[in-house]
Structure 1
């Protein structure tokens, strides 16, 4: 087998292994905003809850009366002037953000239904929960 075939096979194997990796990542950065996103499964939820103390905005996404967690939420955080400071095309079910102190508007869209909430972020952590009941869909 030549080196090109070995390289191609290795890329495929490692690429597939990456797809199976958990959604929870070590702290990532988007501009000046550090964040963690994930929470599918008890292990990921535990990691995100443990790390939450290091973030000043904690978001939780769920649906229906039973509060089942959801992911694939389009998330946008904007400042008071409407300028987007953070976006994530597929957030949830738990997202931790480290934002500069200030006032923000958080917009979450799930299955085409938009929810918006204002939040003040500072030294003390803030938490927001977004729930999409069946009648919202």
Structure 2
């Protein structure tokens, strides 16, 4: 194999490895303003970490599609307080997102492939779970 082929193959392999980095978000807790969160769930390892950590968060979100409930990611997520102020947003959420919010009433908006789902929720000390599912629509 000549050096040009080896270089090209190396570039592809390392390029693909670099693309996987955004999906390794579930390893640690992050914060956005005063909101602590974990996001991820690509693969069984991340799903397990998010499920284990869920007890420490008061809002748990799950994103899926179709009747079989296949998990989806790259969901545009925003959480607004009762005054309509955005307190949390993530451009590429999912398939699982855990949030630690101050007690209160919130509106959660999740957009996947241009279809927005909205749910109102009251968050307190006890964990609350919401699932958003985008069923395939025949046009």
**Match of residue 123 from structure 1:** 125
1:74 and 1:91 in contact (8 A); partners too: yes
**Match of residue 3 from structure 2:** none
Distance 1:75 1:136, change over 3 A: farther
Task: Provide the C-alpha distance between the structure 2 equivalents of 1:109 and 1:90, rounded to a whole number of angstroms.
Answer: 10
2:91 to 89, 92, 105: 89
Distance 1:41 1:127, change over 3 A: same
Aligned residues: 124
Q: Secondary structure at the match of 2:126?
A: coil
**Match of residue 58 from structure 2:** 56
**What is the CA deviation profile of residues 71-106 of structure 1, one whole-angstrom value per residue up to 9, with x for unaligned ones?**
000000000111000000000000000000000000
Q: Secondary structure at the match of 2:54?
A: helix
Q: Secondary structure at the match of 1:116?
A: strand
Query: Residue 24 of structure 1: CA displacement?
Result: 1.4
Query: Residue 23 of structure 1: CA displacement?
Result: 3.1
Q: Secondary structure at the match of 1:50?
A: helix
Task: Provide the C-alpha distance between the structure 1 equivalents of 2:127 and 2:138, rounded to a whole number of angstroms.
Answer: 29
**Match of residue 9 from structure 1:** none
Q: Secondary structure at the match of 1:24?
A: helix
Task: Provide the C-alpha distance between the structure 2 equivalents of 1:18 and 1:121, rounded to a whole number of angstroms.
Answer: 37
1:1-137 correspondence runs (5 A): 19-21=19-21, 22-135=24-137
Segments of 5+ residues of structure 1 without an aligned counterpart are 1-13
Task: Provide the C-alpha distance between the structure 2 equivalents of 1:25 and 1:113, rounded to a whole number of angstroms.
Answer: 29
Query: Residue 25 of structure 1: CA displacement?
Result: 3.2
